[in-house]
Amino acid sequence: MATLKELAKRTEGLVGGHRACAGCGASAAIRQILLAAADKPTVCGICTGCMEVVTTIFPFTAWNVNLVHNAFENSAATTSGMEAAYKALKRKGKIKGDINFIAFGGDGGTYDIGLQSLSGAIERGHKMLYVCYDNEAYMNTGYQRSSATPYGAHTTTSPSGKKIPGKQQKRKDLTEIIISHDPAYAAQATPGYYMDLIKKVEKALAADGPSFINVLSPCVPGWGYPSEQTMNISKMAVETLFWPLYEWQDGVYTINVKPREPKPVEEFLKLQARFRHVFKPGNEHLVEAFQAHISRQWERLLRKEEASK
């Protein structure tokens, strides 16, 4: 695995000057991912969404590698086409050497509108890495709910109103859906644990087939917290078991971080304005339900790890 020192010497794939909010978790994650990939030429695809919008406003681009943006729901299909072109052109001798193919999409572009495109691309076995930068809502269009938005969260389409306190549905377990495709590699990560993320990107790119990393990426205005808190919140998501760091390869689950004494999920929730209403008197049941769900998911993951040993 590349050391921090080695990483620091590599050419950045995503450079500064773009228009993401100060403290944007997703742009930090993409920067780390491209650094991890930078030992080989890399070609990327990206869905419409915050990251595409803040980094590519013509005539500027923050990308030092080739990037293709097509539409909101199809960066998996688009990148699979690039990978197919690469194979064909390599056979004809028009292109030489190895290329990393990385497709990016937000949770909206991945869990929701682009799920079919991703499922298809993984099933077809393209050698590419798909990264979902999961900021748990449609941030680009003003914080609307997605199927990655957690239970209870306030978004502009699941508002905490007088009668209904935020999103009433649980989030979808996308990583598990992808694992059931039997990909070459799948993992969950978050930029607060950056060496973990780097290692996972290296593994994913080395795997012989389609790979997937779901990266929980805190969003300053969407989640509602001061911009310097991004990495803390990212870590808190892991320490409260809200976002377990684990990987899956050849049928084996490995949990990468097992907090000795997991913190109650409140510690994660209370840092963010989107959960402010769940701490109002009379809403205690929301936090309890949240905690029960998180604990159940964690227990299930432990059992999966145990069973796959």
Partner 1 sequence: MKILAKTGNEAMAYAMKQINPDVVAAYPITPATEVVQIFSNYVADGEVDTEFVAVESEHSALSACCGASAAGARVMTSTASQGLALMHEILYIAAGNHLPIVIALVNRSLSAPINIHCDHSDTMGSREAGWMQLYCANSQEAYDSIPIALKIAEACGVPAIVSTDAFIISHCMDRLEVLEDDEVQKFIGEYNPKYFALDLENPKTYGPLDLQDYFFEHKRSQIDAFSKVLSTYNKVAKEYEKLSGRYYPAVEEYKTDGADVAIFTAGSTADTAKEVVDELREQGRKVGLVRMRMWRPLPVEEIKAALGKFKAVAVMDRSDTMADFGGPVFLETRGILYDLDKKPIITDYVYGLGGRNVEIADIVRVYDEISEIAKTGKVKKLVTYLGVRGEE
Q: Which residues bind ligand SF4 (CB under 6 A)?
A: 20-21, 24, 26, 50, 54, 135, 139, 219-222
> By Cβ distance, which residue is nearest to ligand TPP?
106
Strands 185-189 and 246-249 come out as antiparallel
Residues in contact with partner 1, shown as a per-residue x/- string from 114 to 153 under the rule CB under 8 A:
--xx-xxx-xx-----------------------------
When CB distances are held under 5 to 8 angstroms depending on the partner's kind, the choice from ligand SF4, Mg ion, partner 1, none that residue 131 binds is: none
| Three-class SS state of 91 | helix
- Among 50, 186, 205, 278, contact with ligand TPP (rule: CB under 6 A): 50
Beta carbons of 233 and 271 less than 8 angstroms apart: yes
Alpha-carbon distance of 116 to 131, in angstroms, equals 15
* Contact between 48 and ligand TPP per CB under 6 A: yes
* Contact between 78 and partner 1 per CB under 8 A: yes
Cis peptide before 59 (omega within 30 of 0): yes
When CB distances are held under 5 to 8 angstroms depending on the partner's kind, the choice from ligand TPP, partner 1, ligand SF4, none that residue 21 binds is: ligand SF4
Least distance between Mg ion and beta carbon 163 (Å): 26
Which pair of tokens denotes residue 12? Answer: 């950045």
* Contact between 74 and partner 1 per CB under 8 A: yes
Which residues between 20 and 59 bind partner 1 (CB under 8 A)?
41, 43, 45, 52-53, 56-59
- Segment interacting with partner 1 (CB under 8 A) among 63-71, 166-174, 275-283, 289-297: 63-71
Strand ranges in 125-244 using DSSP code E only, listed in sequence order: 129-134, 185-189, 211-216
Alpha-carbon distance of 29 to 205, in angstroms, equals 16
* Contact between 213 and partner 1 per CB under 8 A: no
Q: Which of 161, 135, 106 is nearest to 222 (CA)?
A: 135
Q: Which helix (H) or strand (E) holds 88?
A: helix 75-91
Alpha-carbon distance of 308 to 49, in angstroms, equals 36
When CB distances are held under 5 to 8 angstroms depending on the partner's kind, the choice from partner 1, ligand SF4, ligand TPP, none that residue 85 binds is: partner 1
When CB distances are held under 5 to 8 angstroms depending on the partner's kind, the choice from ligand TPP, ligand SF4, partner 1, none that residue 141 binds is: ligand TPP
The most distant pair of C-alpha atoms in the chain lies apart, rounded to whole Å, by 68
